Chain A
Amino acid sequence: MKQTGLWYRLDTAARAIIPFVLTLMLVLLSLLPFNTPDYAPVVPSLAMPAVYYWAVFRPDLLPLWATFLIGLVQDLLTGVPLGTGIMMLLVVHLAVMGQRRIFTNSTFPMLWVIFALFSAIAYTLGWGLAALLMPMVPSGDPVMLQYALTVASYPCLAWLLARAQQLFLN
C-alpha cells in the first residue's frame, strides 16, 4: 500500500513538471540551426506561445518562477542582454494571470487574438529593454518578423500542447 502511495506521488510529480520540461525543450528546439535555404534568419519564439498556453490551461503547473527560469535559460543560451527575454515571458504570463476572467469559455480564435495582443505588448517591451541595454537601438524589422512568426506559430503549437496535455495530464 505504501509502495503504491510512493509511486502515485512520483507519478504525480512527474506529470506536474511536464509543462515546465516541454517549454524548456521548445527553447532548445528554437535554438537548433536549420541550414536549409528559404529559411529566415529569425525563428519564432516557441517558449512564448507555450508559456501562454500553460498559463491559460494549467496555471497550477506553471508557476511564475518556472516562467522566470525558462526565460533565464533562454536568455543565457541566445546571448541577448540578460533579462530581456525573461521580462517578455513574464509579461505574457502576468497578463494571463491578471485577465483570468476573459479566458473562461473563450474559443480558439479568441485565444489566438488575445495571444497576438499580449505578445505584441511583450515584444514592444522587449524591444524597449534591448534598446536600453544594448549599445545602439536594435532595428525593428527582425523584431516585427519574429513577432509575426511567433503569432503564426501559435495554432500549431497550441494543437501540439493540447495533445500533450491530453496524453499526460488528463
Chain B
Amino acid sequence: MTRIATPLKAWAQRFSFLLIIGMTFALMVMGSTDNRLVETLRTQVVDITTPVLETLAKPVNTVEQLITNVREIAELRQINADLRAENERLMAWHHRAQQLEAENAALRNLLNLVPEPGMRFVTARVVGDSGGAFVRSVLIAAGETAGVSRGQAALAGQGLVGSVVEVAEESARILLLTDLNSRIPVAVGSNRKKAVLAGDNSPEPSLRYLAPDEEVRVGEAIMTSGDGGVFPSGLPVGVISQVDDTGARVRLYADWRDPEFLRLVDYELPGLIAPLVEGQDQTAVN
C-alpha cells in the first residue's frame, strides 16, 4: 500500500505546486489587463480590511501623538517664536489677499465671467499606507457612500497629495503623486508654463513635457493647471527643487508623511467651457 501511496503523494504535491504557480501567473495576466473581476476582488478585500485597519490604527495613532507631544513640549519656545514670525508674515499676506480678492471681484464684474464651478470637500482618515517598494498609495476610510469617486483630487494640509484611483463602498485608494503611475497636468510659475508632473517612486516627482523653449527655475511654484478637466485649476502642488539637463524635480508641499486626514475635492464641472474660463481667470489673478 505504502509503495503506491508515496509516489501518489509526491505526484499530488508536485501537482499542487504547479497549480499554485500557474494560478499566480494567471492572476498576473488578469491583473495587467484591467480585469473587472480583479478590480471587484481588490475593492472587496479593501472594504473588508478597512474597519480592521481602522481599529488597529487607533493605538498606533495614540503612540504617535504621544511622541509628537513630547517632541513639541521640548521645542515649545522655538515653535512659539517661529509661529509668531510666521503669523506676522501671514498677516501681511492676508491683507494682500483681501485686496486682490476685492480687485478680482471688481474685474470679474467688468468681464461678466461665468462663476467658478462649485467645490465640495470630503475629509477622510488615512487607514493604510502601501509603504512598498513598487507603489505609493494610501487607503482611506471613505468610499462611494461618502461621495468619493474616481479621479478626485486628494489634498493634505499644504497641498495636493494624489488622486482617487479605486473606490469601494466604504474605502478608496489614493495614488500618490510620487507613484510611478501618477501623471498630473500642472502649470509652472506665474506665467503658467504647462507641464506634466510625473512620479517615479522617488520622493520628488519630475516635470515632463515642458515646451522646449520654456525654462524653469528653482523655486518656481507648481499648481494644478486644470487641463483635462479632472482636477480644479490652481491647487497648490509644490516648488521646483532642482533643475538639470535631465529635467526638473519638484518638492511637494504635502510631505508624504503628513496625511493622517485627506481632503478630497469633489469638483462639479458644469460644462466643458468652464476650465477655459477658469484658466483665463487664473492669469487675471496672476
Contacts and interface: CB of A to CB of B under 8 A. Distances in A.
Interface of A: 28-37, 39, 41-43, 45, 64-65, 68, 71-73, 76-84, 86-87, 90, 94, 123, 126-127, 129-130, 133-136, 138-139, 141-143, 145-147
Contact of B46 (A36, A42, A76): A76
Given A68-B24, A77-B45, A134-B180, A33 B138 contact: yes
A77 B24 contact: no
A36 B134 contact: no
Chain B interface residue number, banded: 35 or more
B135 interface: yes
A80 B56 contact: no
Interface in B1-42: 16-17, 20-21, 23-25, 27-28, 30-32, 38, 41-42
A129 B32 CA distance: 11
Contacts of A127: 133-134
A76 B45 contact: yes
Contacts of A126: 133-134
B16 A65 contact: yes
Given A73-B45, A78-B135, A146-B132, A34 B24 contact: no
Contact of A83 (B16, B25, B135, B201): B25
Contact of B133 (A87, A94, A143): A143
Nearest to B17: A64
A31 B258 CA distance: 16
Given A41-B131, A82-B38, A139 B201 contact: yes
27 contacts: A28-B56, A30-B131, A31-B128, A31-B129, A31-B131, A32-B56, A33-B126, A33-B260, A34-B64, A34-B257, A36-B64, A36-B67, A39-B257, A41-B256, A42-B132, A45-B132, A64-B17, A71-B24, A78-B131, A79-B130, A83-B27, A83-B31, A86-B24, A134-B181, A139-B200, A142-B133, A143-B133
B148 interface: no
Given A76-B42, A83-B27, A90-B24, A33 B128 contact: yes
Given A35-B64, A36-B67, A76-B45, A29 B56 contact: yes
Nearest to A39: B257
Given A42-B132, A65-B16, A77 B49 contact: yes
B224 interface: no
Given A32-B128, A41-B257, A82-B38, A138 B134 contact: yes
Interface string B189-210: 0000000000011110000000
- Main SS of chain A's interface residues? helix
Nearest to B165: A79
B60 to A, nearest CB: 5
Q: Most B CB atoms within 10 A — which of A31, A90, A146?
A: A31
A40 to B, nearest CB: 8
Contacts of B102: none
A139 B202 contact: yes
B263 interface: no
B134 A81 contact: yes
Nearest to B49: A77
B57 A33 contact: yes
B163 to A, nearest CB: 13
B258 A35 contact: yes
A41 to B, nearest CB: 5
Q: Most B CB atoms within 10 A — which of A41, A64, A129, A142?
A: A41
Interface in B173-224: 173, 178, 180-181, 200-203
Contacts of A32: 53, 56-57, 60, 127-129
B149 to A, nearest CB: 18
A24 B52 CA distance: 12
Contacts of B42: 76, 79
B136 interface: yes
Q: Most B CB atoms within 10 A — which of A64, A82, A133?
A: A82
